[in-house]
């Protein structure tokens, strides 16, 4: 492909009846301007969640063989309905509809087979979860053709995007996969519609890249083929300076660096950004209905001092260990091994001479277990519900002091204050108050305006 390639990621959030025609329009605009679009898609809205919960249901109930079969049959009917409704809105004539249904039937047939064997072969779980993307890539390929775009579905397994066997959160083998995608696309004459979120091990077992992993596929593909840019299309475009529900005049940020995007946490999947950062592939986060609403993520040589984003992370837990005779190394070792055992991430660790503080998120629901087990080993431990407030931008010591002072003045019950480090791009503090929105309002006035 000699033309400039634009990688377009369409997530479940915009695969809606009223937006799908606009998606096709955006691709046509790119073709008309002489670019080569490439598409990476997620599952239709809610489909991955539905597959995940059905798997859970299958595993929870100890069922006889025919019990599994009938549950599965009913589930497939439900899944077919969801996709039929989407297709019904797409103005296909009878002939096309038949053709689509033949293609989808092949996938449903395979899915049914996989569901019936997954209880004896848990390695199939990732493949099952990946059907959402396989179905949507199939439907959208037909739809784009209907709209005059010469498109063709491309599954991750056909490229192949090779990963390790860390199921549910697999990591792409960059070197092999980079070669594979470039080779595959060199003979590909049509607009590729790649099923995101998926990979395959060297042994031919399908894997998934972690929830939200279509961003990862898009960023991998974009950097591997040295795309002109990657556009992550959204319902509402761009990255905002803060939550507009809290501060109504929150504004779209024109451009941020890879590091700032990484620090802000929410904008783009951590794994995804790791690829683009190396190859400096520019990313745009744009509104599908109004592409002018956009934020660029790119290399910025001289980041201007100041605050770009104010945000928070709510419902966190602070483990507080206090002991006159604390031996930080030893205690930290004990604590971190328990966290690792339950696969709970420590978001922030801080210590003083007589205390050790660890902030964690209970997103896998195992934090109580972590606490119990640590309590059995270290007696002076307490857990407190906390929230985190953070600023993203470029900061010096004055900003750090101003931030901490404000949090004290606002009586936030500051538990862990922000500190300065070299090329400081993130100030974060842990507070006990739950009046986070009010605090954000004040911070916005003082730091952004
Ligand atoms: N469909 C997958 C998920 O919901 C991947 C994605 O949406 O990016 O996690
Ligand atoms: Mg999704």
**Per-residue pLDDT tens over the stretch 347-380:** 999 988 888 999 999 888 899 999 999 999 888 8
CB distance 247 to 259 below 8 Å: no
Distance 43 CA to ligand 1 centre (A): 6
Map out the domains of the chain as residue ranges: 5-298, 306-447
Token code pair at residue 24? 């096709």
Q: What is the pLDDT of residue 259?
A: 87
Find, among 442, 392, 445, 449, the residue nearest to 412 by Cα. Answer: 442
- Report which ligand 1 atom has the smallest distance to the Cα of 209: 5
pLDDT, position 266: 73
CA of 49 relative to ligand 2 center, distance in Å: 8
| pTM listed for this prediction | 0.88
Indicate which ligand has the atom closest to the C-alpha of 213. Answer: 1
State the distance from the centre of ligand 1 to the C-alpha of 303, rounded, in angstroms: 32
Of all atoms in ligand 1, which is nearest to the CA of residue 217? 8
Q: Evaluate the CA torsion angle 133, 139, 140, 142 in order and state its sign.
A: positive
CATH architecture of structural domain 5-298: 3-Layer(aba) Sandwich (3.40)
* Position in ligand 1 atom list of the atom nearest CA 216: 8
Instruction: Tell me if residue 361 falls in helix, strand or coil.
Output: strand
pLDDT at 2: 56
Q: What is the distance in A from the centroid of ligand 2 to the CA of 111?
A: 18
Identify the residue whose tokens are 């519609």: 193
CB atoms within 10 A of CB 93: 8
Beta bridge partners of 10: 41, 233
CATH classification code of 306-447:
3.30.2130.10
pLDDT at 269: 83
Instruction: Pick from 55, 196, 232 the residue to mutate for probing ligand 1's pocket: most ligand atoms within 8 Å of its CB.
Output: 196
> How many residues are given for the chain?
449
Point out the ligand nearest to the CA of residue 52: 1
Cite the beta strand spans of 121-201 per DSSP E: 151-154, 191-195, 198-200
Residue-level pLDDT at 63? 67
Q: Which of 333, 311, 303, 307 is nearest to 321 (CA)?
A: 333
Could you tell me if 281 and 229 are in contact, meaning their C-beta atoms sit under 8 angstroms apart?
A: yes
Tokens encoding 357: 């503080």
Ligand 1 centroid to residue 297 C-alpha, Å? 21
Q: Which residues contact 310 (CB under 8 A, 6 or more apart)?
A: 241, 242, 389, 390, 391, 392, 440, 443, 444, 447, 448
Please give the distance, rounded to the nearest whole angstrom, from the Cα atom of residue 277 to the centre of ligand 1: 22
Q: Whose CA is nearest to atom 6 of ligand 1?
A: 212
DSSP helix/strand/coil, 237: coil
Q: Which residues of the chain have pLDDT under 70?
A: 1-2, 62-63, 65
Pocket residues: Cβ below 6 A from ligand 1: 11-12, 42-43, 48, 132, 196-197, 211-215
The DSSP code for 239 is -
């Amino acid at each position: 492909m000699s033309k400039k390639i634009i990688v377009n990621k369409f997530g479940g959030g915009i695969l809606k009846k009223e937006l799908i025609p606009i998606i096709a329009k955006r691709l046509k605009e790119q073709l008309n301007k002489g670019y080569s679009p490439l598409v990476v898609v997620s599952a239709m809205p809610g489909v991955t969640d539905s597959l995940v919960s059905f798997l859970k249901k299958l595993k929870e109930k100890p069922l006889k063989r025919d019990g599994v079969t009938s549950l599965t049959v009913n589930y497939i009917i439900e899944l077919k309905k969801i996709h039929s409704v989407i297709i019904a809105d797409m103005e296909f004539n009878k002939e096309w509809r038949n053709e689509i249904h033949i293609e989808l039937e092949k996938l449903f047939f395979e899915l049914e087979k996989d569901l019936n064997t997954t209880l004896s072969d848990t390695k199939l779980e990732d493949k099952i979860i990946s059907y959402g993307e396989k179905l949507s890539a199939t439907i959208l390929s037909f739809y784009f053709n209907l709209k005059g775009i010469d498109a063709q579905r491309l599954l991750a397994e056909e490229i192949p995007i090779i990963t390790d066997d860390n199921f549910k959160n697999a990591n792409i083998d960059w070197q092999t996969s980079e070669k594979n995608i470039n080779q595959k696309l060199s003979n590909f004459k049509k607009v590729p519609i790649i099923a995101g979120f998926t990979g395959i091990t060297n042994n031919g077992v399908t894997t998934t890249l972690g929830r939200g992993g279509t961003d990862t596929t898009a960023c991998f593909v974009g950097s591997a083929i040295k795309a002109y840019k990657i556009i992550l299309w959204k319902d509402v475009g761009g990255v905002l300076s803060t939550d507009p529900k809290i501060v109504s005049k929150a504004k779209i940020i024109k451009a941020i660096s890879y590091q700032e995007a990484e620090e802000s946490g929410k904008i783009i999947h951590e794994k995804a950004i790791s690829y683009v950062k190396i190859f400096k592939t520019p990313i745009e986060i744009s509104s599908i209905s109004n592409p002018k609403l956009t934020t660029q993520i790119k290399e910025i040589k001289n980041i201007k001092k100041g605050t770009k984003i104010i945000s928070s992370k709510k419902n966190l837990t602070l483990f507080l260990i206090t002991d006159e005779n604390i031996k930080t190394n030893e205690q930290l070792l004990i604590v971190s091994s328990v966290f690792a055992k339950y696969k709970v991430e420590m978001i922030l660790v801080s210590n003083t001479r007589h205390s050790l503080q660890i902030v964690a998120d209970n997103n896998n629901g195992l934090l109580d277990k972590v606490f119990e087990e640590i309590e059995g080993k270290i007696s002076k431990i307490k857990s407190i519900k906390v929230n985190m407030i953070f600023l993203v931008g470029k900061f010096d010591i004055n900003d750090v002091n101003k931030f901490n002072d404000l949090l004290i003045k606002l009586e936030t019950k500051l538990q862990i204050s922000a500190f300065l480090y070299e090329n400081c791009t993130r100030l974060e503090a842990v507070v006990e108050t739950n009046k986070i929105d009010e605090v954000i309002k004040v911070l916005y006035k003082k730091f952004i305006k």
